[in-house]
Amino acid sequence: MFPSLMPLALAALAWVLLHVVVAGPLRPGLVHRLGLPGYRGLFSVLSAVALAALIWTYGRAPYVEFWPVSSTLALMPLLVMPVAVLLLVGSLRASNPTMAGPDMVLKGELPVRGMTKLTRHPMLWAFSLWAGSHMIANGDAAHWLLAGAILVTALNGMMSIDRKRAAQFGEQWQRFREKTSIWPLQAVLQGKVRLRWSDIRILDILISAVLYGVFIYGHEKLLGVPVFHP
């Protein structure tokens, strides 16, 4: 390990431990002591601090190359990110059972609509696609520590949410789970659910297009990393 990479490595480890351990095996005890609102508040603060540390240390990490940047590999995020942004925007519906705190907005059957027909974890797949595509396009240690930490917690989060929702909703979740899939499009291809054009709203597409344009425009200005490579 390069000494100057250590702060970023520690920040990445803290991020992973927070989401895998604190939000995993430690969660029941913390909820019992703090109450659910108290736990959510504490976890939100810790997540914000951990994310800030991750970004801050990444910005000061040295460039340690695994493979050189190329225009071919740089195409990967450009092609993948429109899908990731659409999944992210579409995941923000109040009817999405895998959003944090659906017990506050859902009654009766858990609805299978919108992006949950594609995958029951659209938001976490958005983060996973961002992380994976950027790890391919950027073969250096700092990118891999940053994006790798996000990827690990996103993939773990899918399993973690499934367990929590199963305990929370019981048979309702089981019926929802049987109609959906973790892998994108698997439930559609297996005929468990029928995808309609109305599930992907025009408004979601328009918002996603605007956000993607903002990301493209602000990527180098805000992050100092050009989107297009010669």
Provide the pLDDT for residue 20: 94
Q: What's the whole-number mean pLDDT along residues 178-199?
A: 91
The Cα 13–Cα 161 span in angstroms is 21
State the number of CA atoms in the 13 A half-sphere of 9 facing the CB. 8
Model-level pTM?
A: 0.88
pLDDT of residue 151: 97
Q: What is the pLDDT of residues 105-116, one digit of tens each?
A: 455 678 888 899
- pLDDT bin (cut points 50, 70, 90) of residue 101 is low
The answer to whether residue 187 scores a pLDDT higher than 50 is: yes
d(CA 229, CA 224): 13
| SS3 at position 114 | helix
Please tell me the distance from the alpha carbon of residue 75 to that of residue 187, in angstroms, as a whole number: 29
118 touches 184 (CB < 8 A)? yes
Model confidence band, residue 169 (pLDDT cutoffs 50, 70, 90): confident
pLDDT digits (tens, 9 = 90+) for 133-164: 999 999 999 999 999 999 999 999 999 999 98
Contact 124, 156 (CB under 8 A): no
The alpha carbon of 96 is separated from its chain's Cα centroid by a whole number of angstroms, namely 15
* pLDDT tens for each residue of 39-50: 999 999 999 999
